[in-house]
Chains A and B, each alone.
Chain A
Amino acid sequence: MNVFRALGRVIKGTWWLFVGMVTTTKHMLRRSITIQYPRQRFEQWPRFRGRLAMVPDEEGGHKCTACAQCLRICPAACITLERHKEEGVKGFLVDAYVVDLGLCIYCGLCVEVCNFGALEMIPEYEISAYDKADFIYDIPKLLARQLEPEFKR
């Protein structure tokens, strides 16, 4: 009886090893699910939170009112704002608005807290650089868009 049980186990084991092979072979005939990255790209979902950017208004300027809510909520403290008051003007004027993307954790809380729609997270994710200084984004850089970066072959 033992012999039969052992034989049965051998047959069962071989069968399942065979089934495994069939499964992998079947996958070989399926289409590849990967893409050839720099040439092909995924279309990003509209909500995708890429890098932080400023929403340009009609004249191409920014909408920031220097209320500093984004500074208050930013968990990584990656935003610095310089502002001053001027006679006759309500609120603050922006001197400098600098985001250090090296510190940014892409949480999107600043976009959510902004009451003036001045900030957005654009689906731009290839922002690597050779120099840490390149991660410091000031207002012109925050307003600019480069959605299709070029790559060398």
Chain B
Amino acid sequence: MIVHPVLSWLKDWWVGIVETYGLPTWFVPAAQMVVNAILIAGFIAVLVLFLIWLTRKVSAHIQQRLGPMRVGWHGCVQTVADALKLVQKEDTTPRDADRPVFNIAPFLAFAPTVVAFVVIPFGDGAIVRDLNIGVLFLFAITTINVIAILAGGWASNSKYSLLGGFRSAAQLVSYEVPLILSVLGVIMLAGTMKLGAIVEAQNAMWFVVYQPLGFVIYVIAATAEVNRTPFDIPEAEQELVSGFNIEYSGMKFAMFFLAEFANMFLVSAVAATLFLGGWKGPWLPGEFWFLAKSFAIVLLLMFFRWTYPRLRVDQLMSFAWKFLLPLAFLNLLVTGLILVLM
């Protein structure tokens, strides 16, 4: 409602420029791409800054503290100060590290997250590319994250980070399965993998009403997917100290951090899109509803984070394979049966 008119106005403007100055026609899509890239990168940067501040504030108030209070109103620019500090810090590499892999890993963690935002519908028409395999693309691209974490853990050449990397690989591979199975129900209902079309299909009723079990499985699996408590064993502070990112410092650490928070928003946004009706909502613009729903899920994840202890690695595995997976299949079966019988 807000983004779409602006973008189409921009497009008209470029078309005008191209016509006036006789520029080649490919200039219009190229300019659009640049603008989209800038918009997404800027959105992620602002979003992560806000999310980190929100996490600190929510955790502080749950713990009856105040959290950051000094920098800006209620510490609202504290994260900017912290980011500046991280940029200034020395970028250390361990002596025995596998340098190329060590240097690439943080960017490998961050890049897929940015790419995944391409298919997220922020509002009516506010979507970069409404791919017809949107859901598939989303889950395919976010899985690259595992490789980044594994690479980071391996290349650091530290036993703690290695354990963290392996744990993460095992965990993400296991939780990918129930995650995708839980989403299948939605795809069956909507009959498409296009995220925009899935949102349109929820015109009458949100899919969470038809797919409550699928939603619960999705939220649990997504929590594991983004390494949040109670499934944060790859970076278990208490036993692995910090897991895969233990040897990283400065900007590279910030990249991992950025990826983690952006991922957290990403899975929440996907949950909002697939189950909670995306941008659909009365009166207010669609972008607002989309953000409100996404942040509701983000807050839920934060409350998980600050309430629950962490599972052990074997319990985590058996929970995924023995509990979530059968439930996801059951959900799929029931959905299929109902669809066929109706």
A residues adjacent to B (C-beta < 8 A): 17, 20-21, 23-25, 27-28, 30-34, 36
Contacts and interface: CB of A to CB of B under 8 A. Distances in A.
Interface stretch (B8-16, B59-67, B127-135, B252-260): B59-67
A28 B62 contact: yes
A81 to B, nearest CB: 45
Contacts of B62: 24-25, 27-28
B321 interface: no
Given A24-B303, A24-B307, A36 B64 contact: no
Given A17-B308, A20-B308, A36-B69, A27 B303 contact: no
B306 interface: yes
A24 B306 contact: yes
A27 B66 contact: no
Contacts of A23: 307
Residue among A17, A27, A28 facing the most chain B CB atoms (10 A cut-off): A28
For this complex, into which size category does the number of interface residues on chain B fall?
Answer: 10 to 19
Consensus secondary structure, chain A interface: helix
Interface string B54-84: 0000101111111001000000000000000
A21 to B, nearest CB: 5
Q: What 6 A-B pairs are tightest by C-beta distance, nearest first?
A: A24-B307, A28-B61, A33-B64, A32-B66, A34-B65, A24-B62
> Chain B CB within 10 Å — which of A17, A23, A24, A27 has the most?
A24
A34 B307 contact: no
Contact of B307 (A21, A31, A32, A33): A21
B61 A32 contact: yes
Given A21-B303, A36-B69, A27 B64 contact: yes
A28 B66 CA distance: 10
Contacts of A21: 303-304, 307
Given A25-B62, A30-B64, A32-B66, 13 more contacts: A20-B307, A21-B303, A21-B304, A21-B307, A24-B306, A27-B63, A28-B58, A28-B62, A31-B64, A32-B60, A32-B64, A32-B65, A34-B64
B247 to A, nearest CB: 32
A36 B307 CA distance: 25
B63 A36 contact: no
Contacts of B66: 32, 34, 36
A36 B71 CA distance: 13
Contacts of B304: 21
A99 to B, nearest CB: 35
Contacts of B308: 17, 20
Nearest to B64: A33
A104 B193 CA distance: 72
A27 B61 CA distance: 7
Interface in B60-117: 60-66, 69
30 contacts: A17-B308, A20-B307, A20-B308, A21-B303, A21-B304, A21-B307, A23-B307, A24-B62, A24-B303, A24-B306, A24-B307, A25-B303, A27-B61, A27-B62, A27-B63, A27-B64, A28-B58, A28-B61, A28-B62, A30-B64, A31-B64, A32-B60, A32-B61, A32-B64, A32-B66, A33-B64, A33-B65, A34-B64, A34-B65, A34-B66
